[in-house]
Amino acid sequence: MPNVKVFQSEEQLKAAFTEKSIRIVRIGEKKVCLAKHGQAFFAFQQLCPHQMHPLKEANITTFGEVVCPLHEYRFNLKTGQEANNRCQAMQTHQLQITTDGVYLNL
Ligand code: FES
């Protein structure tokens, strides 16, 4: 799995997000959502695994879940699992913050 640099530094990553905001990063043809929850950052697939609604429009709950606005399925930010197993899990990606930059593991 390739590691792709998505931010030049941790400071740049932090400056790009407000709490519970979701942004899209593009890596070639691929789009991935990045979100901030508490002090942590998470990466996950761009489209809802239920019926492909864009998760950029989702809400992040205080419990660390991504809530898709279309049918309100709830996906765990860490594991991607839907709260009631109503569909397959959301794909998640690892983010690595190093002194050299912030890398997304695809
Ligand atoms: S499309 Fe996301 S919950 Fe149905």
Ligand 1 centroid from CA 11, angstroms: 33
Beta strands at 3-7 and 59-60: parallel, antiparallel or unpaired: unpaired
Residues found in the chain: 106
Contact 4, 104 (CB under 8 A): yes
User: How far apart, in whole angstroms, are the C-alpha atoms of residue 74 and residue 80?
Assistant: 9
CB of 68 within 6 A of ligand 1: the answer is yes
pLDDT (tens digit, 9 = 90+) per residue, 21-40?
A: 999 999 989 999 999 999 99
- Measuring from atom 1 of ligand 1, which residue has the nearest CA? 51
Tokens of 36: 């901030």
The total of structural domains in the chain comes to 1
Tokens of 28: 């070639």
Residue 2 has pLDDT above 90, yes or no: no
The reported pLDDT for the residue numbered 1 is 54
Residue among 33, 51, 55, 56 to mutate when testing ligand 1 (max atoms within 8 A of CB): 51
CATH number for position 54:
2.102.10.10
Range of the domain at 92: 3-105
